[in-house]
Amino acid sequence: MKKEENFSDWYNEVVEENGLTDKRYPIKGMNVWPPYGWKTMLLIDAIVRREFDSRGHDEVNFPLLIPEDQFEKEKEHIKGFDSQVFWVTKAGDNELDIRLLLRPTSETAMYPLFATWIRSHADLPLRIYQIVNTFRYETKQTRAFIRVREIHFIEGHTCHATFEDAERQINEDIEIMRDIAKGLCLPFRIHTRPDWDKFPGAFYTKAIDTLLPDGRTLQIASIHQYRSNFAVPYGIYFEEEDGTRKPVFQTTFGLSERMLGAVVAVHGDDMGLVMPPPIAPVQAVVVPVPVKGEAGSIGGEAEKVWKRLSAAGVRARLDSRDIRPGNKYYEWERKGVPLRIEVGRREAAEKFVTAVRRDSGEKSRIDGASLEDGVKELLDEISDSLRRRAAEKEKLLEKEAAALADIGPGLNMVWWCGSEECGKGIDEKTGSSILGIPEGKQEGSGRCIVCGKETGTRAAVSRPM
């Protein structure tokens, strides 16, 4: 299957045939995570945990079900999610007095508790996160990892004494995102979403967008400044040192399994998956290449190599199945294992291994004496190379659009007067929409691509996935 010819079919095939997902579960948009896919997701989760934990955020776990009356306190929020919610109305043989909903996100589950946890300025900032399953009744076409109804979701929630401290948290979230994206070997862009596209209830939303090879964008994470929009209806107040009572300022940071979808889409090729070493469940597969009469001794050498790599902390696997090496190569290539380590007669005799890179096909020789370091260096090089290549490809997808007719696949940079009318006009006329204002200083000025008014605001326009 050619990735460039039909990206959408290529994606569906590559995720299902290589064990990342199983879509045969009988509910649309609720997929099974088989071992290979789930291990990859757990490795991504481990990076997320490391980045949150090392900055002093605490992991928690809140209940899945939210009572209807508790959900309805913030009016914008409920409006945004009402049509997407799964309702539990019965338990055993009893109709429930108060209906329960499956969390689409956990603001309304957490905030009544925050109101009991926070008393004074000494309790602030509060910084927690959780990794859970969330639910949205998607009516659009579903797609593995990208648009599903049961979502593997990471949600960070913070409370602060001042707006400025909440803003500092948002900057830290961007740092965290950078470190996570490094592990995924993914470039990303930050766009402040237009007002009509922000998170329901938020003061503003910064989205983390990744460009996909077909020129569409995928939001893989988002960061929200709530100000006190939730704190007031949920009663999250604190006492200042001088005794005054004030509502807290809140932020959230949401990431999901879409990160894995982006990894597949950006790095994969016509042969199949290409897994970045930091999140590859198997970083190196050791394959003995036996010749007649020497299968035993070569198998023994391969096993030694595998054991040494495992002991050194490399996620290595020994493939000693009784099938032809070529079949093994094919299978592991499709699964995107970053390095293949071949051990044959010459290797065994001369004490080296042959390493073959999945990303470039390049072969190299690693001396037996420096096996562990050699493999680790090669894995780092592969990661660097994936990052570089992804960034270069992404650059090619960015272009200037001076008129509506110029807007096409990829990321279109336009001048925009900032009005909702012109913003939505772009969508109506081109099918692409305003992602938002890109992060960073805006320079110069130009004419709004719709109304022609002079403006200092640049916006990014694309077709979202």
Please report, as ranges, the residues that interact with its own copies according to CB under 8 A.
22, 24-27, 30-35, 38-39, 41-42, 58-65, 67, 70, 82-93, 100, 102, 109, 112-113, 116, 128, 133, 135, 137, 139, 150, 152
- Least Å distance, CB 59 to its own copies, is 6
What is the token pair recorded at 252? 């959230």
Phi, psi angles (nearest 5°) of residue 149: -100, -25
User: Which is closer to its own copies, CB of 54 or CB of 445?
Assistant: 54
What is the token pair recorded at 294? 């020497």
Distance, CA of 411 to CA of 461 (rounded, Å): 6
User: Which is closer to its own copies, CB of 126 or CB of 305?
Assistant: 126
Task: State the Cα torsion 319-323-329-334 to the nearest 10°.
Answer: -90
- Least Å distance, CB 64 to its own copies, is 6
User: Which is closer to its own copies, CB of 150 or CB of 167?
Assistant: 150
- Least Å distance, CB 41 to its own copies, is 8
- Least Å distance, CB 82 to its own copies, is 8
Closest CA to 161 of 199, 190, 118: 118
User: Which is closer to its own copies, CB of 113 or CB of 369?
Assistant: 113
User: Which is closer to its own copies, CB of 225 or CB of 283?
Assistant: 283
Phi, psi angles (nearest 5°) of residue 288: -75, 140
- Least Å distance, CB 100 to its own copies, is 7
User: Which is closer to its own copies, CB of 103 or CB of 463?
Assistant: 103
Q: 78 vs 21, 204, 258, 319, CA distance in Å?
A: 31, 17, 24, 52
Closest CA to 388 of 189, 211, 212, 185: 185
Q: How many CB atoms lie within 10 A of CB 286?
A: 26
User: Which is closer to its own copies, CB of 35 or CB of 361?
Assistant: 35
For tokens 């990894």, what's the residue? Answer: 263
Phi, psi angles (nearest 5°) of residue 299: -60, -40
Pairing of strands 216-227, 126-135: unpaired
- Least Å distance, CB 36 to its own copies, is 9
- Least Å distance, CB 118 to its own copies, is 13
Distance, CA of 368 to CA of 436 (rounded, Å): 53
